Each structure stands twice: as structure tokens, then as C-alpha cells.
Structure 1
Amino acid sequence: MQQAQEAREQAAQEVRRSRTHSRRKNDQKFFLFVFVTIILGIAAAALLSVFFPSGAKKADDGKAEPVSAQAQTYTPSTVTWTAAGDIVFHLPFLESGVYLNSSDGTYDYTSIFDHCRPLLESADFSTVTMETSLAGEEAGYSGYPMFKAPDALADALAADGFDMVNLASNHVYDGLDEGLARTMEVLSQKNLQYMGTRPDKDHKKYNVVDVNGIKVGVLSYVYETTAGSGSKSINGIALSDAVAPLINSFDPSNPDVFYSEVEASLAAMKEEGVQYTIAYMHWGTEYQTQQSQEQTDMAQRLCDMGIDTLIGSHPHVIQPVDVLTSSDGEHQMLCCYAIGNFLSNQRSEYMQAEMPTGETEDSYLLTLTLSSDKKGKVTLTDAAFTPMWTYRYETDAGAAFAVLPVNDTSSLEETTGLSGIKAEADESAARTQAIIGEGVEKVKAALPLKSAI
């Protein structure tokens, strides 16, 4: 009996030792499994970070953002963007011996901008609206009503600090199909970008300009004078089927097509990483220093769509400045309804019927200061409105012109060498202040303005 009992106890001990050994082996397997799982998890995360670096994160509202919306790291930057008004190329610019070399028939217009060149060159990027075509000498040069300028105008713009030329004006088609194509070619040859037109249908209807690392998206449109038949026309001239799609234009009586194009362009710009948007609009009623209801309505709609700054042209006079707020209250837009004639022969003595009080001599340079942060968000941190005056005077060789800044006229005669101009310069500055002064104060109070994108 005792031997049997000892045998049973020995067998029980063997079972316990076996179970303990088994548990130890299982524990070792478990810890090994956990260790391997952790290692594999770390390796998988590393691979994912290589192939899918942006991942996905939660937006402020708790919803997962798409990979394309993931925040990136940007280098903070600042850009100054300057816009000048309209160049209306009247006949005296062709006939004056000041600009025409009679011995060889060449032209030189660079001196016209001598006194505003420092302002243009100091900006990171400068634009101007050109109300003429560069149709070439064979097509013939002409002033109003069909503007055709020498290529020397493009030379002067490039030499005097401009980077981009706005072609979307009511005189964009003055040189017809060949003239439009040649204008774009000449500007490209002079290293001048252009907006509002495109060389073919494959090109975009908008521009993306990278300035100091900030991507600015630009739209430019001109109003149509489309006939009741539906044929698209500019300034009463029917566009050919080949050219019609190449000019950015809108029908004021049917703006929905225009709004759809803008929406599509804004969406495409966003995909390209655009951080700030500017719309140039050639619109309004000539010689009216107040915007029309049509301009007001369209500006509000563009603000609602997310345009950050609107710059208007065409009326040949300055119109008010404002800060518009989108209908949902989420966005503000700087709106300059019209910035005036940068260069023209529309002197008050020649404008007795239309505008005898001198406003056609005035314009201003709009300079936007754009600043970006580490997240790429762009803010309008400053806006400068420098009043400009086009002065005409007579020389032995003929009429001469000078585009002058008149924000400080105390030393203007001394610095320009033009005597007896201070009183007129002061009058020009006062006219500009009367139109935009209140709006400028509103802009200053509203700054900074964040971009919609």
C-alpha cells in the first residue's frame, strides 16, 4: 500500500513538472509572438511613411481630410504685387518726333516711364493693361479707333519693370486674328507674360505665377458686345470661330457661363497649389467715376466664389475702392472697381464733351503685400495706392508724355526737371483722393485679409 501511494505521488509530481514546463514554453511563445508583432508593426509604419508620406488626419470638424489636403511645411515668404492701369495708345504716340526716329522709322517709349520705373522695379511682380495690338508694321500702325502699336511699346514695358501684360481689353481684337497671334508672340519674345488670352485651346484660361515661393492665380476677362444672333464680338467686331475661344470674355447679359468658367478655374488652381487669387476685370461704363450696378453685382459674386483681390479697368477714370464680404461672412475681398488710365492722350482739354474735369489723366498703382506662413496660408498684410498722373507737354520735336507719381509733389519739379507742374499734380492727387480716399481707409482698417484658399 505504501509503495502504491509513493508511486501515485511521484506520478503527480511528474504531471505538475510537465504542466509547469508546458506553461513556460507557452509563455515564451506568447512573448515571442508579441515581440515579433511589435517589430512588424514598426516596420509597416516605416514603409507607409515612405510610400504615403502625407497620410490622413482629422480636420477641425473631426472628419478625416483627404491626403491632398494634408498640411505641408512652407517657407514663410513676402511678395509685393503691383498693378498699373490702362495704356491707351493714341495717335500722338505714333506721330511725335520725341518717340519716332525719322531717319530709320524706329520708336522708343522708355522715357515715358522714367519717373515711375523705380516703383515698378521695386515690386516683385508688376502688371499693366495694354489697350492696343502689336499687329506689326505691315499691318500698319494706328490710333483710335483701331489701336495698333509698334513692338517698341513692348520693349519699353519690359525695360521699365513690367512682368505681365493684361490683354483682355475691348481693343484686344483690333489687329484681328493675325494681330492677336502676333501680339502674344511678341510679348513672349520680350520675356513678358500675358493674361486674358491664350495661344491655343490646350492652354489654360488662367495663369499661375510663382513669386518668391507664393503661388498667385490670375484670371482676366473682358466684356463682350455679343450680337443678338449669338455671335461673340468684342467692341462690336465679330470674333472668328478660331479666335473666339482664345479670348477670355463674358456676356454681361448672361454671366452664368462666366461664373461657371471661374468656378472651374478656381478648382483647377487649387489643385495646382495656388495660395492667392486675383481677378482682372475689363468692364463698366466709360467716364463714370462710380461703378455700375452690374459691376457691384459681379464683384459680390466673385467675392462669394473666393476671389481675393479684384482689379478693374476700362472706364478711363478711377472708380471707388472697397472691401467686400462674402454672403456667408467667411471671406473678404479687396475690390478696386477701376484704377484709371496709366497712359493715354485723354487730356482734359481734349475731353470737353466726355470728361472735362481731368479724371482721364489720373490713375494709381495698386501694390499688394502678400505674406505666407509655415502652413502656406497667405494674408494680404498691406495695400498701397500710389496716385499717378499722365502729364503732356510740348517740345520742339513734338508732344512728350511722362507718367508721374503724385503722392508727394513737394519735390516733383526738382526730381523730374519739369517746371510749373506742381499745381496740376496736386489737382490730380486731390481728384484721386476724392474717389478712393474713403475706400482706402476701409481697406487699411480691415487688414490683414486672409486668402480664401
Structure 2
Amino acid sequence: MTEFENHRKRAREMQRAEEAREQAAAEVRRSRKRSRKKNDQKFFLFVFATIILGIVAASLLSVFFPAEGQESKKEKAQPASAQAQTYTPATATWTATGDIVFHLPFLESGVYLNSSDGSYNYNSIFDYCRPLLEEADFSTVTTETSLAGEEAGYSGYPMFKAPDALADALAGGGFDMVNLASNHVYDGLDDGFQRTMDVLQQRNLQYMGTRRDENQKKYNVVDVNGIKVGVLSYVYETTAQSGSKSINGIPLSDTASALINSFDPSNPDPFYSEVETSLSAMKEEGVQYTIAYMHWGTEYQTQQSEEQTQIAQKLCDMGIDTLIGSHPHVIQPVDVLTSADGEHQMLCAYAIGNFLSNQRAEYMQAEMPTGETEDSYMLTLTLSSDEKGKVTLTDAGFTPMWTYRYETDAGAAFAVLPVNDTSTLEESTGLSGIKGEADESAARTQAIIGAGVEKVKAALPLKSAI
């Protein structure tokens, strides 16, 4: 046998030995399978496999024997695969505004109604807040009306039915999602309820709190700059004389009852169960931050009720990260709640006021003569994620807003104005003589939420529960 043949024989023996060792390593690792190349690079594959085995072993050791203080109890409970997943760090802003209550002047004023063809245009109402809404990565609003269509007839209080032009104005005003779970969601009955969702979808506006059919989820998952936000929205139920479920005293059909997210304040346990189920499903979908919108409380009360306090604490205990309330038509306090186990904090905005309505102080002498029904604030959450996908609330903005009504030759006109800085408000809007009222609005808002805002700022950053 020649020297060359001996060399080839030894090479083949070496290759077989390396192959055996590589197979043994694969057996130890079990779950890892690698294709083997039948060529002269067996040695390099073996080295590579050995390195990977070391990394896996180190990862497993870190899961079962983490360094003290490095992980919370919830992080320790996560599967190794979830902890090993990497994310691209990102930042997203989520803005929420208060209620739009569609009163009769919005229908009757010639400022918005074209008498020649009967069409409406509400775009100008949002001219001065549009830049703030467009600046946010995602913006939401709550509507207390239905879009039942012209054939159903338009109307103000007590059965709100708005023209589709409202949806056009919202889409053009910088909004991305409409919260439909209000006590006026069923003012258009079954047809109006379904049509409202159709109209919003046609304008590329997402909606929450309702579903088209029972196959849809009871929650929304929104990807904002790579951060997955899970959203829940619920409205309080009333009980009709028949004992059936109703909203605002209107008995719901069996179909609508299953498609509107609602809760019974006197029996919240079924609601809590639904929330728990939704939170589990959200986690499976990879949701990193959760927001609950609650239509609740007592009208014209600037302090939350005991019922609101109890429900908010329960939602905090369950892991909701931010709660945003509506319905009282006035602003209520802001707070930071801590879960019973001490491991989670939740930003709680009990009610953020009327974003747009005709509830001016001069018309509210019996209910709220001091002007709080004209006020709201824009809540902006700044969410930041790290390379592990953990999301932190790194900032929270509270921009006071004021609904101004003024008279024109064509009728009443409205403007939703930010009043965080009124020094140039008249110049920038062309609305003269408004600074005094704007300052009063900002002062009213500060009086209600000022202490809570400071508490929120001091508690930041707040980590998400998921």
C-alpha cells in the first residue's frame, strides 16, 4: 500500500471517528438535530456543535439557577423559549381622548350642515388638536352615539344618531381607533349598531368594545412600532323591567347582547372571568402591554365612586397596565395603584372628561354649573420595550383640553383646544377673547388631577405585568 493510500485510509478513519462523536453529542442534546455534511469538514462541524451545546447548557442553568435579584417571580415562571427570544427595542406613543357626546347643535348648525344638499362636515372642529393626535403613533376616542344612517334619522339627546361625516372627521383628525363601548352604543338598535362598525371600517378606523359576530375576539391587539398592545373595552349594563340585559335602559337583542362588551356593576365576577380569559389569550398572542377602557361611574361626579375604586383595584391585581375611564362627563382623579401581591403597578385615569359636547356651563346649571363638563385631557402613554420584549411605561403626558363654543352668522361653532399653554392661544387660533376661559378650564383640570399626575411622574417607569 502506497503512502498516499495510507494517508487516505487514516483520513477516512478520522472522519468516521469525528462522525461518531458528533452523533453522540446530538444524542445528549436530544432536541437539536443538525444535518451532517459528508465531506472533509467534519472536524469543524463538531467544534461548532460543541460550542452550541455549551450555550444551551448555560441558558438552562440561568433559568433554573438565576442570579439573586435578577428576575421577578413572573419572569422565572416563563418558559426558557420565551426568555431566549430576542426583540428589537422600540418606543411607541399611545394617546387617548375623552368622550364625544353628539348633541343637537352639531346637527342643526349651518356651520356644519350644507343646506343645499343636506351633507355635513365636522373637520374644522378638530383643527387645533389634530397636530397632537397625528404626532402620536396611535390615537383613540370614545363616541357616545351611533352611525345609524340617514334613513334611520339623525338625532341628539337622548338617542344619539350622528351622520357618517363624524367618522370622516375622526379619520381625518388623526384618530386610529374608536371606542364604541359606551352607554349610547345601542341607540340605533341592531341595524344602527352593525352599521356603525361598517362605517368605521370603511374609513379605516379600528373599533373596540364591540364585535361583528361571535367569532371575533373580545379584545384588540394593536402593533404600534413593534410593540404589541392588548386592549379591552367595557360599558356598564342596566337592567330592563323584563330583567334582560340592557344598555342605558334599552333591552338588547340576543344578537347584540353577545356582541357588546358589557359588565354588571352589581355582579362583576363574570366580567372578571372574561378579563382573565382575554388576558391569557393576549399573552399567547405575544401582547406586551395591556390597556382597559371602562365606561362607568356616576355622571357629573368629579370623584370616583367606591365601585370604580374596587373594580380598578381588581383589574390592577389581574395585571392590567393602564386603565382609562369615561362616561361621567367630567374629569376624575388620576392614580397609581399597586397590586395586592406588590409586584405590579397600574396607571389609573378614572375619567378623562368630555372631549367634545354641547355641555357648556350655561346649559348645565342644574347638573354642573361650574364648567367641568367643558373639560377633558389628552392622555399620552410612552411605551418602551427592551431586547427581551419587556415593556415599560417611561412617560405619561396629560394635556388639558377645552371645548369652546362660539356663535357665527351660520350658527354655533365648536373647537377642541389644547390649553396647556394659553399665552399664544388667541393668536394661533384667531379666536379672540378666549384666554380667560381657557385658563379657567386648565385650572379646573389641574385641581382634579394635579396631585395624581405628580404621583404618576414620581412612580415612573412602570413595568408591564406581562
Letter in 2 for 1:166: N
Letter in 2 for 1:306: G
Residues 263/64 of structure 1: CA separation in 2 closer, same or farther (3 Å cut): closer
Equivalent pair of 2:26/2:33 in contact (CA under 8 Å): no
- How far did 1:41 drift? 3.3
The reply to whether residue 160 of structure 1 matches residue 144 of structure 2 is no
Residue aligning to 2:406: 393
Q: Partners in 2 of 1:47 and 1:69 — Cα distance?
A: 17
Based on CA coordinates, which of the two structures has the bigger radius of gyration? 1
Q: Partners in 2 of 1:47 and 1:450 — Cα distance?
A: 34
Equivalent pair of 1:197/1:246 in contact (CA under 8 Å): yes
The reply to whether residue 324 of structure 1 matches residue 328 of structure 2 is no
Q: Partners in 2 of 1:64 and 1:124 — Cα distance?
A: 32
Q: Partners in 2 of 1:353 and 1:47 — Cα distance?
A: 72
Q: Partners in 1 of 2:365 and 2:84 — Cα distance?
A: 58
The reply to whether residue 251 of structure 1 matches residue 264 of structure 2 is yes
The reply to whether residue 59 of structure 1 matches residue 63 of structure 2 is yes
Residue aligning to 1:40: 23
Equivalent position SS for 1:260? helix
Q: Partners in 2 of 1:238 and 1:258 — Cα distance?
A: 19
Paired residues for 1:138-149 under 5 Å: 138-149=151-162
Equivalent position SS for 2:398? strand
Give CA-to-partner distance per residue, 1:210-232, whole Å, 9 cap, x none. Answer: 01100000000000002475411
Identity %: 82
Residues 33/49 of structure 1: CA separation in 2 closer, same or farther (3 Å cut): closer
Equivalent pair of 2:240/2:250 in contact (CA under 8 Å): no
Q: Partners in 2 of 1:77 and 1:34 — Cα distance?
A: 48
Within the candidate set 76, 97, 102, 2:89 is matched to 76
Letter in 1 for 2:32: L
- How far did 1:48 drift? 1.5
Q: Partners in 2 of 1:41 and 1:127 — Cα distance?
A: 58
Q: Partners in 2 of 1:236 and 1:123 — Cα distance?
A: 36
Residues 144/65 of structure 1: CA separation in 2 closer, same or farther (3 Å cut): closer
Letter in 2 for 1:259: Y
The reply to whether residue 176 of structure 1 matches residue 189 of structure 2 is yes
Equivalent pair of 1:59/1:65 in contact (CA under 8 Å): no
The reply to whether residue 311 of structure 1 matches residue 324 of structure 2 is yes
Q: Partners in 2 of 1:180 and 1:50 — Cα distance?
A: 56
Q: Partners in 1 of 2:223 and 2:335 — Cα distance?
A: 27
Q: Partners in 2 of 1:107 and 1:50 — Cα distance?
A: 66
Residue aligning to 1:334: 347
**Equivalent pairs, count:** 424
Equivalent position SS for 1:307? coil
Residue aligning to 1:100: 113
Give CA-to-partner distance per residue, 1:55-74, whole Å, 9 cap, x none. Answer: 88353666785355343110
Q: Partners in 1 of 2:138 and 2:237 — Cα distance?
A: 29
Residue aligning to 1:5: none
The reply to whether residue 409 of structure 1 matches residue 422 of structure 2 is yes
Identify the range of structure 1 (228-237 vs 249-258) with the bigger mean alpha-carbon deviation: 228-237
Q: TM-score normalized by structure 2?
A: 0.87
Give CA-to-partner distance per residue, 1:407-441, whole Å, 9 cap, x none. Answer: 00000000000000000000000000000000000
Equivalent position SS for 2:91? strand
Letter in 1 for 2:63: A
Give CA-to-partner distance per residue, 1:156-183, whole Å, 9 cap, x none. Answer: 0000100000000000000000000000
Structure 1 segments of 4+ aligned residues over 2 angstroms from their partners:
30-37, 41-47, 53-71, 226-230
- How far did 1:39 drift? 1.6
Letter in 2 for 1:250: F
Letter in 2 for 1:194: Y
Residues 307/393 of structure 1: CA separation in 2 closer, same or farther (3 Å cut): same
- How far did 1:321 drift? 0.1
Q: Partners in 1 of 2:409 and 2:310 — Cα distance?
A: 49
Residue aligning to 1:18: none
Q: Partners in 2 of 1:68 and 1:106 — Cα distance?
A: 56
User: Where in structure 1 are there 5+ consecutive unaligned residues?
Assistant: 1-29
Equivalent position SS for 1:279? strand
Give CA-to-partner distance per residue, 1:275-310, whole Å, 9 cap, x none. Answer: 000000000000000000000000000000000000
Q: Partners in 2 of 1:311 and 1:406 — Cα distance?
A: 21
Residue aligning to 2:386: 373
Residues 273/65 of structure 1: CA separation in 2 closer, same or farther (3 Å cut): closer
RMSD: 2.2
Residues 102/65 of structure 1: CA separation in 2 closer, same or farther (3 Å cut): closer
Equivalent pair of 2:154/2:161 in contact (CA under 8 Å): yes
Paired residues for 1:207-226 under 5 Å: 207-226=220-239
Equivalent position SS for 1:426? helix
Letter in 2 for 1:193: Q
Residues 326/65 of structure 1: CA separation in 2 closer, same or farther (3 Å cut): closer
Residue aligning to 1:15: none
Residues 100/451 of structure 1: CA separation in 2 closer, same or farther (3 Å cut): same
Residue aligning to 2:71: none
Q: TM-score normalized by structure 1?
A: 0.90
Residue aligning to 1:25: none
- How far did 1:43 drift? 5.0
Q: Partners in 2 of 1:64 and 1:233 — Cα distance?
A: 41
Paired residues for 1:183-262 under 5 Å: 183-227=196-240, 229-262=242-275
Q: Partners in 2 of 1:181 and 1:219 — Cα distance?
A: 19
Residue aligning to 1:135: 148
Residues 396/70 of structure 1: CA separation in 2 closer, same or farther (3 Å cut): same
Q: Partners in 2 of 1:319 and 1:172 — Cα distance?
A: 22
Equivalent pair of 1:341/1:360 in contact (CA under 8 Å): yes
User: Where in structure 2 are there 5+ consecutive unaligned residues?
Assistant: 1-12, 36-52, 67-75
Within the candidate set 260, 275, 280, 2:288 is matched to 275
